[in-house]
Structure 1
Amino acid sequence: MLLATSGAWAAGYETCPTVKPGMLNVHLLPHTHDDVGWLKTVDQYYYGLKNHIQHASVQYILDSVISSLLENPTRRFIYVEMAFFSRWWKQQTKATRDSVQELVRQGRLEFVNGGWVMNDEGATHYGAIVDQMTLGLRFLKDTFGSNGRPRVAWHIDPFGHSREQASLFAQMGFDGFFLGRIDYQDKSFRKKKLKMEEVWRASASLNPPIADLFTGVLPNMYNPPKNLCWDVLCEDPPVVEDPQSPEFNAMTFVTSFLNVAYFQKYYYQTDHTVMTMGSDFQYENANMWFKNMDKLIHLVNEQQANGSQVHVLYSTPTCYLWELYKANLTWTVKTDDFFPYADGPHMFWTGYFSSRPALKRYERLSYNFLQVCNQLEALAGPAANVGPYGTGDSAPLKEAMAVLQHHDAVTGTARHVVVKDYARQLAAGWEPCEVLVSNALARLSHYKQDFSFCRYLNISICPVSQNSDQFQVTIYNPLGRNVQRMIRLPVSEGIFFVKDPNGKTVPSNVVMLPSPFSEKYLWELLFSASVPALGFSIYSVVKVTSSKTLPHSLQVIPRKPRSHVLVIENEYIRATFDSGTGLLMKIENMEQNLSLPVSQGFFWYNASEGDEVSLQASGAYIFRPRHLTPLPVSRWAQIHLLKTALVQEVHQNFSAWCSQVVRLYPGQRHLELEWTVGPISLVDGWGKEVISRFNTPMKTNGVFYTDSNGREILKRRRNHRPTWRLNQTEPVAGNYYPVNTRIYISDGHQQLTVLTDRSQGGSSLKDGSLELMVHRSLLLDDGRGMGEALLDTENEVRGRHLVLLSSVTDAAARHRLLAEEEVLAPQVVLAPHVGSQYYSRTAPKMEFSGLRQDLPPQVHLLTLAHWGPKMLLLRLEHQFAVREDSGRNLSSPVTLNLENLFQAFTITHLQETTLAANQPLSEASRLKWKTDTGPVSYPTPSKLDPTSVTLQPMQIRTFVASVQWKKLS
């Protein structure tokens, strides 16, 4: 027998059923696919409420499955979503828990994937993916030990698959990955070429096999074969095996089953094939399923006496994978991704990249705040959880954020009422984290204040700053390096003085802006803050006068019949506008002597409602424009100019529902475009998909680049797929890709990069052009199950695009570091200027850093979080790819001393783990697959030296640290 590497013979493989060599072994995979919210809320799905919307109850599914497994020792079942299973587990008796423990130990109940949810792969950030997987896998480890550890990743429903997702799964220790949905043309090609199963080489930087993952495409997505569905939700007849019955149909089932089995074998390379026996929320009456499968297994195997070469058995994805491994074949290698996904001509699932942009932004903001909450809990120690502001807790926000990664949550593909419930869960998670952050800041600053979290700064609302004559601004920086940040706070009319942590007055401005909600004006206070790495700075603000004549306000620029130019600039960037149209004309990088004509404006695609070519309409999932050319929201903009010592802005008003501010701060090497779109007008009866488009004369040869979940960069080519010949039926939608943090074009000399503040769909449909979809509101459902139109007419959505023009040699450093600052922006906390000492004998600490020195620019602190009593979870990553940065040598390995890294605590013991922290790295091993690219090396892990931890390009290293907090009083 061919053995796996040392340690791979764990419960998942040693409990596998016996197969029959020389026969076609058909692995039946009993499973249920349980969406963590979609047509109903998470709670409605769990308890079985509102079954008139969708008949589904997860608690009854799990009850029924466990009972059925206990009836027959050959039966098996797999389960995926820990958001549901953990809730069910808490409600069980000891006797039931003991039975489940034994089922898991015997491999009869097997967990696959094991995350809190089955996350989306298009609209998700890699940090949030890692967090949600860690949460689910930790529950399994704490509950079932090593017996509960999944060996197989299982993404049967996400709408396209990212390369970064496969890389993360490989680094988590998974042996294989099974997919349900891939493009219909890709699937047809794979069947013909026998490439339904390959090794996915999911990183261009990590040395194989670190990011190699065996990946298989399931034959029937995740549904049962035709006529073989025996659930209460199905209409197929049961198996009648009694030949005396007039309803006898056993042989019909046998014949149908054998035909399916032989048909599937034709497209796969081994004597093994799988059938997914289950679907959405099935097995509420598991007895129906298992009783009929028991009969089918007996009847089919009985045919072996008559010469049949088919053997059918209850199995699991892990056991199927084990048989593929033992076949000892050489597999082809895949290096691209599975985007975009289409399930037929004119049916590209690229709309969800942009659906519900307000929810996508709230999710990204919540990720930012969760990392702040995690870090302060780690830095302050137990005092963060129980302190002067009450009991703080990071767990509710961790769970809410994990739920939001579900493939119908952050995607924007759930019904409106469910989207509101997702937002409710996030809001509920923020509250105990705000208490925790308040406790931690009080302890670390030695100063108790009436902290206030201004959740509506994006729309210039903050009662503390608007109603107080003096207040303090605490700014926490979650990055491992010092940041300079322009702080903008809504205030009442007047003049203010701002002092830094040392009591020195810093330059500030109060600017007058038009209110987006009324004809009145708003006032905002601006000052530049310097915040240390992993720490905070406290600034003091005092109002000194209520003068009615402010020095800085908007200057209306009238349209000129003849165009002349308008310029905003700082020491690095100059942006030129045509005052006749109000539109951007040119961007110059004066530091690098680069100049590029760039026009930018807003356009909208008329959403298809179906036509003579196809009845497919645009909807929450699918993007299908009626025409290839979008219409301009307006060909000109009314503009206002604002120039002060601290900011220069051009305010552009395109229509009643579309406006933008183009902004430059001193010292800033990028242009900031803050857009406001919505509520989108539908009075003309046309659904609209709104884009921001940048046009340049750059010669890009059909090539553009997008990030993969915020990490590695992938090359895209218009109307092209790297591994199969594309018949392009939708030249717009078929060229859209997910953009999680950035998209760029290059002519080999200079590069234009646009960074986003949330996930969006984007493309380059013409050479020198970039576009990003910022909002969409539609009139029809797209027929993919949601059952309602994406009528997003309530939301005015505000967002930011950061635009970089730089030389190719310098571009990677610029966009990597700027993206890091955008995802993990400083957290601003306000308080009236009245407080008290935390300790009786210590003065307030106005500035604090959790690090002894800044991290090198290559290194990102991905995770610093509480893990257990006197234990922290620590992840450090090298955020540059191999050969990505030649200008500053940032693609080189970097070495850190972890023992001397942190100020707030001392590391007393360090253990390195796999990425999801559910296995010690020293004990982890994965199956070794042979590929047609030749052998790869398997270096022996060296002994961990905390004083010398080296990170290779794109490497993430995860540690569980035992710590001792230092006395700060």
Structure 2
Amino acid sequence: MGVRQEIDGGYWRRMNKTHYFISPLIMDNVSLQSCPATNPSMLNVHLVPHTHDDVGWLKTVDQYYYGDRNYIQHAGVQYILDSVIDQLQKDPARRFIYVETAFFYRWWRQQSQDTRRIVTQLVNEGRLEFINGGWCMSDEATTHYSAVIDQMTLGLRFLNDTFGECGRPLVAWHIDPFGHAREHASIFAQMGYDGFFFGRLDYQDKARRMKTKEMEMLWRASESLTPPLADLFTGVLPNGYNPPEGFCWDQSCNDAPIRDDPDLEDYNVDEIVQRFLNAAFYKTNHIIMTMGSDFQYENANLWYKNMDKLIKYVNALQAKGSKVNVLYSTPSCYLQELNLANLTWPLKTDDFFPYADDAHDFWTGYFTSRPALKLYERLSNSRLQTCNQLEVLGGPKSTSGPFGEGDSDTMSKAMGVAQHHDAVSGTEKQHVAYDYARRLATGWAHCEVLVRNSLAVLSGSESPRVFCENLNISVCPLTESSQKFSMNVYNPLGRTVSWPVRLPVNGSLYNVTDSNGKAVDSQVGNYVFMSFKHICNIYDMKSSSLLPLLSVRWFYGLSPHISINSKSILVYVFKFLKVNFDDTTGLLSSLTNLETNQTIRLTQNFYWYNASAGNNKESHQTSGAYIFRPNSSDPFVINKTAEIQTVTVSSTVQEVTQWFSPWVSQVVRLYEGHRELELEWTVGPVPIADGLGKEVITRLDTDIESSDYFYTDSNGREVLERRKDYRPTWDLKQTEPIAGNYYPINSRAYIKDDKHQLTVVTDRSQGASSIYNGSLEIMLHRRLLYDDFRGVGEPLSEPGEFFDGLVARGRLLLALTPPKMAADVHRPLAQGMVLQPLLSFQDGTPLANTKLEFSGLQAALPPAVHLLTLSQWDKDSVLIRLEHQYQAKESETHSQPVTVNLQKLFSTLEVLGASEMSLGANQWKEDMNRLQWNTGTKASLPLSLSAKDPSPWEVTLNPMEIRTFLLRVRQL
């Protein structure tokens, strides 16, 4: 155990298990030291006992843990862990892996000291091994990279805190997610994992890989990062995550046990051994066999008793010339053997979307399922980052201050659970979706107290502060009842932003001023959402120094402003954009970028695909929570025209309210000083009285010559090229021309030609495609009448507030640019949509001694740099992640190395020491020592060369690089 040297020459205190991580300067992970011996002259079959424990799906997290409501699904995680620990003690050869830290954390807290000692010994001996280690096994299609990193850090920190280096997972394990994102592989590689195993990939891709023995490969998961920084060995498990057919010995299984008494009539050892020997087909003389499945090992004796016999009888045949050696093992031990084989592995550079398990069964519906939950999760992520930042900046009084005890932990754990592949994905039962939302609400309630305390410290005002949770439907009791109020705007981004604010107010006699008493351009008038209200629109937030990071600024109302309403003006122009509407149809007709003098034809409308009811002659597959399967390639248009209900023209905003049907409407907005067009859509309740399930899309049709190519982001970071009816890895036989061309977008998608690029930035994860040349469609909402037979057992038909169907509302931001300038627009737009300013309100005007402005940074960060993480780690240290948010060669201006001085970042913190860590914050960066792999080809250089740090305190970020530091700090 070593001491840690800081870059200023000081020393970290000596660490042990009572602290947050152990930094061995000495040895490899204990799990690898205890790997069982293999036989190099034989085929070694690695049996991996495991359980897959969904952190909510058919039952809630609590119900799964306790074994409640077993009439829904028999599952009780606490009994699984009890039983496994008991069985591991009976034979030192036995192994077990565990994945979901959210469950293990709960179980561990309930154990006696004696049990904890036993478990710690099992971990130290490598017999109980933690794999993956995140709070959950996250979804890969609908999650944002920042939330994925957070939930991984949460789980890894607990394991390191509890078990030290022996508890550090070496392998990523995503056996159940429905398709796999390249950014996830990049994240795992940067966290120090040696390999990644998963269970699901497209049935055509799998068939090809089995034939060519390419089920294992090296995944090069970034075009910008220098290899092997984002290289990750990746393997497809042979049986998904189930045991081979006939070898399931759980109490939930029906396979025959091994009957090894020769005096009994139904002796079956020879039959089972022979069947097992026929199951091998991988590239090396090592095969991995997953021995377990969903919530198995509640009675671990059944599994281990039969596996003991299987090992015994198969290995006994070696005396008769058999070349098969069966052993208990773990994924990391298996991976070590593959690495020692020193073979050449195929290289993969794209991703594993979309996923289909049969010709008409594309799992592309969940990209959009439960759109309201997807938005709530995204907004909760923004609130968590704000909560974490204010905990740091406000100091100790943030968690225990004038408004009581607050914390960020509850929200962190709720967000960790929400990343699960049956949570934000929208593939859970309805009562479980309610539980996920409840957890997020509870987490924010804890954070609200912390935020109130912190803002009281930073502003010097302990006046009551409220948060308006229902501004999306124009409801805020304080602003609607008070004639004079102040608004606090907290910006969690490390750069200035211009952010529109819309508030319901009491009457129309309002004026808005900033913290210096200067008038802020605003508008007060009637606006139609669900009802008529007076709305105060505050758009110009750019006076004086804008809103630097974490700044606080108050606005309050005094006197009148008037809006202009007209239905005859159908051309809208501000400094950067011009928008035209068709006089006849009321639809958008063109978009012009006035800076670059570019105009494209742009028509936008709403459509719905008729969801399959399973009565198609080609397949009985239905559309459901997972599966998207339209009955036809041609969607139904909701209305060929849009009724223009309201037109508003002012110096701050120009907007058009379009009505398409009783359940579809939209507001088109153009803001003064903004380079994007906003489309705020409202869809629902989706009607089903006609007996038809509906998949609702909006489609943008342009004259851009996109030639069947379009582009989508990967978990909100790097962008991947897509092509209609094409896969880079294999020759696709397209069987579903719509669903088979849908991809997940987490923050943006675009189409382009040589001169024009149209980028769409979204406020949540959604499904998108380009079916026609120059077209981009985004699925907004789904309401279905049938289950899709993937386990959830109920149709996706969310009841909504009044049980007549869910109403979903959201925003799309459209930007038209030349392709070479596009990233400079859509990168900041996407980050601004993810990390939105937090509004809070106080009745009356601020007291005389109130500090009206505050910035937590000494200066705004460079445009290419994003403050990804700022959170309290322990009493004297904070965790910080700085991210270069541009890809190599993506921007002529910003795709260059950028240097940041760690000591000159914060206005309220003195940085005394810093040490760099892995992305998961569970290893010192200098101690990362990953396995290296051979692809047989020279590693292609990234598009930009890496730059080194100019000095100990100055850190350089290269394109797409994230650097993680533990800072020892003192409050100023």
| Fold shared, TM-score > 0.5 on shorter chain | yes
Corresponding residue for residue 950 of structure 1:
956
Q: Establish whether residue 758 from structure 1 lines up as the match of residue 769 from structure 2.
A: no
- In 1, Cα distance between the equivalents of 2:426 and 2:448? 26
Corresponding residue for residue 560 of structure 1:
none
How far residue 524 of structure 1 moved from its aligned partner, in angstroms, is 3.1
- In 2, Cα distance between the equivalents of 1:252 and 1:915? 49
Corresponding residue for residue 563 of structure 2:
552
CA root-mean-square deviation: 1.7
- 788, 798, 823: which is aligned to 2:809? 798
Q: Name the SS for the 2:63 alignment partner.
A: helix
How far residue 542 of structure 1 moved from its aligned partner, in angstroms, is 2.7
Corresponding residue for residue 376 of structure 1:
390
- In 2, Cα distance between the equivalents of 1:196 and 1:659? 48
Corresponding residue for residue 167 of structure 1:
186
- In 1, Cα distance between the equivalents of 2:264 and 2:151? 52
State the one-letter code of the partner of 2:249.
W
Q: Establish whether residue 721 from structure 1 lines up as the match of residue 732 from structure 2.
A: no
Q: Name the SS for the 2:494 alignment partner.
A: coil
Matches for 1:488-507 after TM superposition, within 5 Å: 488-507=502-521
How far residue 234 of structure 1 moved from its aligned partner, in angstroms, is 0.3
Deviations 1:30-76 (A, max 9, x none): 00000000000000000000000000000000000000001111000
- In 2, Cα distance between the equivalents of 1:342 and 1:879? 32
Q: Name the SS for the 1:498 alignment partner.
A: coil
- In 2, Cα distance between the equivalents of 1:148 and 1:945? 34
Matches for 1:139-288 after TM superposition, within 5 Å: 139-260=158-279, 264-265=280-281, 268-288=282-302
Extract unaligned runs of 5+ from structure 2: 1-23, 801-805
Deviations 1:800-823 (A, max 9, x none): 000000011110111111111111
- 663, 666, 683: which is aligned to 2:669? 663
State the one-letter code of the partner of 1:671.
L
- Percent identity of paired positions between Structure 1 and Structure 2: 55
- In 2, Cα distance between the equivalents of 1:358 and 1:931? 44
Q: Establish whether residue 902 from structure 1 lines up as the match of residue 931 from structure 2.
A: no
Relative distance call for 1:175 and 1:847 in structure 2 (3 A) is same
Q: Name the SS for the 2:82 alignment partner.
A: helix
- In 2, Cα distance between the equivalents of 1:523 and 1:147? 58
How far residue 528 of structure 1 moved from its aligned partner, in angstroms, is 2.1
- 854, 868, 872: which is aligned to 1:866? 872
Extract unaligned runs of 5+ from structure 1: 558-564, 838-842
Deviations 1:469-523 (A, max 9, x none): 111100001111111222211111121121111121222210211241x4x4443
Q: Establish whether residue 631 from structure 1 lines up as the match of residue 636 from structure 2.
A: yes
Corresponding residue for residue 711 of structure 2:
705
Deviations 1:407-464 (A, max 9, x none): 0000000000000000000000001101111111111111122110111111101111
- In 1, Cα distance between the equivalents of 2:56 and 2:219? 30
Deviations 1:846-898 (A, max 9, x none): 11111111111000000000111111000000000111112xx2100011111
Corresponding residue for residue 561 of structure 1:
none
Corresponding residue for residue 493 of structure 2:
479
Matches for 1:634-713 after TM superposition, within 5 Å: 634-639=639-644, 640-713=646-719
- In 2, Cα distance between the equivalents of 1:533 and 1:551? 30
Q: Establish whether residue 327 from structure 1 lines up as the match of residue 358 from structure 2.
A: no
- Preserved contact between residue 113 and residue 153 of structure 1 (Cα < 8 Å): yes
- Preserved contact between residue 227 and residue 939 of structure 2 (Cα < 8 Å): no
How far residue 539 of structure 1 moved from its aligned partner, in angstroms, is 1.9
Corresponding residue for residue 917 of structure 1:
921
Corresponding residue for residue 397 of structure 1:
411
Corresponding residue for residue 844 of structure 1:
850
How far residue 566 of structure 1 moved from its aligned partner, in angstroms, is 1.2
Deviations 1:104-156 (A, max 9, x none): 00000000000000000000000000000000000000000000000000000
Corresponding residue for residue 933 of structure 1:
937
- 571, 575, 578: which is aligned to 1:567? 571
Relative distance call for 1:942 and 1:509 in structure 2 (3 A) is closer
- Preserved contact between residue 36 and residue 406 of structure 1 (Cα < 8 Å): yes
- Preserved contact between residue 858 and residue 906 of structure 2 (Cα < 8 Å): yes
- Preserved contact between residue 532 and residue 848 of structure 1 (Cα < 8 Å): no
How far residue 204 of structure 1 moved from its aligned partner, in angstroms, is 0.1
- Preserved contact between residue 470 and residue 540 of structure 1 (Cα < 8 Å): no
Corresponding residue for residue 840 of structure 1:
none
Q: Establish whether residue 524 from structure 1 lines up as the match of residue 536 from structure 2.
A: yes
- 352, 357, 380: which is aligned to 2:366? 352
Corresponding residue for residue 72 of structure 1:
91
Corresponding residue for residue 144 of structure 2:
125
Q: Establish whether residue 509 from structure 1 lines up as the match of residue 557 from structure 2.
A: no
Deviations 1:537-596 (A, max 9, x none): 322313447xxxx73264345xxxxxxx81112111011001321100000001110000
Q: Establish whether residue 302 from structure 1 lines up as the match of residue 316 from structure 2.
A: yes
Relative distance call for 1:8 and 1:608 in structure 2 (3 A) is farther
- Preserved contact between residue 898 and residue 946 of structure 1 (Cα < 8 Å): no
- In 2, Cα distance between the equivalents of 1:682 and 1:47? 37
- Preserved contact between residue 7 and residue 925 of structure 1 (Cα < 8 Å): no
- In 2, Cα distance between the equivalents of 1:90 and 1:10? 25
- 541, 548, 551: which is aligned to 1:533? 548
How far residue 157 of structure 1 moved from its aligned partner, in angstroms, is 0.3
How far residue 835 of structure 1 moved from its aligned partner, in angstroms, is 6.1
Q: Which moved more, 1:940-949 or 1:19-28?
A: 940-949
How far residue 937 of structure 1 moved from its aligned partner, in angstroms, is 9.7
Q: Establish whether residue 811 from structure 1 lines up as the match of residue 816 from structure 2.
A: no
Q: Establish whether residue 612 from structure 1 lines up as the match of residue 617 from structure 2.
A: yes
Return the structure number with greater strand share. Answer: 1
Q: Name the SS for the 1:536 alignment partner.
A: coil
Corresponding residue for residue 451 of structure 2:
437
- 770, 774, 784: which is aligned to 2:790? 784
How far residue 525 of structure 1 moved from its aligned partner, in angstroms, is 3.8
Deviations 1:644-683 (A, max 9, x none): 1111001000000000000011101010000000110111
Deviations 1:234-262 (A, max 9, x none): 011211111011221111111111111xx
Q: Name the SS for the 1:922 alignment partner.
A: helix
Relative distance call for 1:645 and 1:218 in structure 2 (3 A) is same
Relative distance call for 1:554 and 1:825 in structure 2 (3 A) is same
Q: Name the SS for the 2:242 alignment partner.
A: coil
- Preserved contact between residue 707 and residue 714 of structure 1 (Cα < 8 Å): yes
Relative distance call for 1:294 and 1:941 in structure 2 (3 A) is farther
TM-score by length of 2: 0.95
How far residue 214 of structure 1 moved from its aligned partner, in angstroms, is 0.3
- 75, 82, 103: which is aligned to 1:63? 82
Q: Name the SS for the 2:89 alignment partner.
A: helix
Relative distance call for 1:320 and 1:941 in structure 2 (3 A) is farther
- In 2, Cα distance between the equivalents of 1:943 and 1:461? 50
- In 1, Cα distance between the equivalents of 2:837 and 2:601? 33
How far residue 946 of structure 1 moved from its aligned partner, in angstroms, is 4.4
Corresponding residue for residue 622 of structure 1:
627
- In 1, Cα distance between the equivalents of 2:947 and 2:41? 39
Corresponding residue for residue 16 of structure 1:
35
